[in-house]
Amino acid sequence: MRDVAIIGVKNSKFGEMWDRSFRDIVVEAGVGAIEDSGVSGDRLDGMYVGNMSGGQFVEQEHIGALIADYSGLSLDLHVPSTRVEAACASGGLAFRQAVMAVASGHEDIVMAAGVEKMTDVSSTAASAALAAAADREWEGIMGATFPGLYAMVARMHMHEYGTTSEQMAEVAVKNHKNGSKNPIAQYKSPITVDSVLNSIMVADPLHIFDCSPITDGASAVVLAPAEIAHEYTDTPIYIKATAQASDTIALHDRRDITTLDASVAAGKRAFEMAKMTTKDIDLVEVHDCFTIAEICAIEDLGFAKKGEGGKMTEEGETAIGGKVAVNTSGGLKACGHPVGATGIKQVVEVTQQLRGEAGGRQVDGAEVGMTHNVGGSGATAVVHILARER
């Protein structure tokens, strides 16, 4: 297998974009990533596009072909373009497919993109589409919602480990603070613990400010074999590990409701592949679709002992400048969570950090970063480790 490098990245704006279409935002990100890489578009050998639910959000399937077409890569060039779906982990998984295509030697210059346009439907319809990432026949039918499933995780975490609503609120406060320094973020205003605790209850114990919002957005990266990456960029970022794991589709079938075993397995596989430990990681973008999810993620990946994720957050160890910087981009919470795009946006953030291009949210001297993207309530987890040094 060949080493693989990232040579170009770009996010569209994230937010509620009433005036822009699905194809507008994905072309913005895709063209931006190609421009950033210095590759000419006709050199692309393939595209992998993460998208969870174009069918339900914009009544459009056949997303791979649509994006190749509107990126100007279909006529004459006929660049192959493949849609990848794993609920909210669709982006992370599209990136993994692209990495494997280059690593295998089958393709050289490859784009991985992710996109979701969620505000063209009502928030009720958007929630129903998202709920399809859980078990429709045995969870959805009982009135389960996504916040409801994570609320049951939160309730049990509080019961078993004494995690508090204040500690969960601290996740949101930190991520909004980081997001305030990210030009693409949906929310750029800092918030307080009190504003989280006083926001309306969605699914007890989760308030609306414990939840990531409904968002439009697209992200794209361009990959090349490490051997030729320097032909295009002075700052290639290398992929040290790619890992994926599955777990039960329904929350009720998990071994332990407070542990996402798919995250544990994917994290372990990634560390083994990179020959690294948590001590080597300067920053990590984790899947904070809800505040409790970030607490579980830092425990599942080994940054915090089981049950101590809330305490670690409260003590500031996951802030920029702390033991490990978690969600420097603002995470899903402040950037917004366009489900298919999130996993690629995480890769864009880590790349910008490792290049030293993260502005006011820069982690000093960042050498190694990690991404962690979860589908559903934990049925899929995708983890990557990226580094400045090959």
Partner 1 sequence: MSVARFWRKQIHRYNLVGTHCKTCDTYYYPPRNVCPKCRRDGEIESHKFSGPGEIVTYTVIHTAAEGFEHQAPYVLGIVQLDEGPRFTSQIVCNPEDAHIGMRVKPVFRKLGESGDKGMIYYGTKYVPA
Binds partner 1 (CB under 8 A): choice among 99, 203, 363, 381: 203
337 is catalytic: yes
Nearest distance from C-beta of residue 294 to partner 1, angstroms: 18
296 binds partner 1 (CB under 8 A): no
Choose, by CB under 8 A, the member of 104, 201, 228, 357 that binds partner 1: 201
Binding partner 1 by CB under 8 A: which of 21, 74, 145, 278? 145
Closest contact distance (angstroms) between CB of 365 and partner 1 is 42
197-202, Cβ contacts within 8 angstroms, sequence gap of 24 or more:
197/165, 197/166, 197/169, 202/147, 202/151
- State which of residues 23, 83, 96, 155 lies at the interface with partner 1 (CB under 8 A): 155
**Candidates 46-54, 60-68, 155-163, 167-175; binding stretch for partner 1 (CB under 8 A):** 155-163
d(CA 89, CA 82): 15
Secondary structure (DSSP) of 321-378: TSSSEE-TT-HHHHH---TTTHHHHHHHHHHHHHTT--GGGPPTT--EEEEEEEETTT
Q: Is 255 in the site for partner 1 (CB under 8 A)?
A: no
**Strand pairing category for 283-285 and 368-375:** parallel
Q: Which is nearer to partner 1, 103 or 118 (CB)?
A: 118
Closest approach of partner 1 to the CB of residue 211, in Å: 9
| Interacting residue with partner 1 among 41, 55, 140, 302 (CB under 8 A) | 140
Given the complex with partner 1, which of 56 and 74 has the nearer CB atom?
Answer: 56
Q: Is residue 197 a contact point for partner 1 (CB under 8 A)?
A: no
Only one of the segments 16-24, 30-38, 194-202, 295-303 lies at the binding site for partner 1 (rule: CB under 8 A); that segment is 194-202
Output the 3-class SS for 83-112.
EECECECHHHHHHHHHHHHHHCCCCCCEEE
| Among 252, 275, 305, 390, contact with partner 1 (rule: CB under 8 A) | 252
Q: How far is CA 192 from the centre of its chain?
A: 24
Please identify which residue in 35, 227, 231, 253 interacts with partner 1, judged by CB under 8 A: 253
Q: Do the beta carbons of residue 10 and residue 348 sit within 8 Å?
A: yes
Which residues 9-28 are close enough to bind partner 1 by CB under 8 A? Answer: none
Q: Which residue has the tokens 């968002």?
A: 215
Return the bridge partners of 237, or none.
Answer: 6
Contact 132, 375 (CB under 8 A): no
Tell whether residue 75 is a contact of partner 1 (CB under 8 A). no
Phi first, then psi: what are they for 5, rounded to 5°? -130, 150
Query: Which residue in the list 157, 176, 207, 337 is annotated as catalytic?
Result: 337
Cβ–Cβ < 8 Å for 22, 115: yes
- How many C-beta atoms lie closer than 10 Å to residue 365's C-beta? 8
Closest by CA position to 250, among listed 332, 148, 339 = 148
Q: Kindly tell me which residue out of 1, 18, 76, 142 binds partner 1, with binding defined by CB under 8 A.
A: 142
Rounded distance, CA 56 to CA 290, Å? Answer: 22
Name residues whose C-beta falls within 8 Å of residue 56's C-beta, 6 or more positions apart in sequence.
121, 125, 128, 129, 132
The minimum distance between CB 176 and partner 1, in angstroms, equals: 21
Residue 162 binds partner 1, judged by CB under 8 A: no
Shortest distance, position 148 Cβ to partner 1, whole Å: 5
Side-chain-side CA neighbours of residue 223 (13 Å): 33
- Catalytic residue from among 88, 211, 289, 335: 88
Regarding 198 and contact with partner 1 (CB under 8 A), the answer is no
- Radius of gyration over alpha carbons of the chain, in Å? 19
Q: Which stretch binds partner 1 (CB under 8 A): 37-45, 140-148, 291-299, 382-390?
A: 140-148
Asked if 262 interacts with partner 1 (CB under 8 A), we say no
Site of interaction with partner 1 (CB under 8 A): 124-125, 127-128, 131, 135-145, 147-148, 151-153, 155-156, 159, 200-206, 248, 250-253, 257
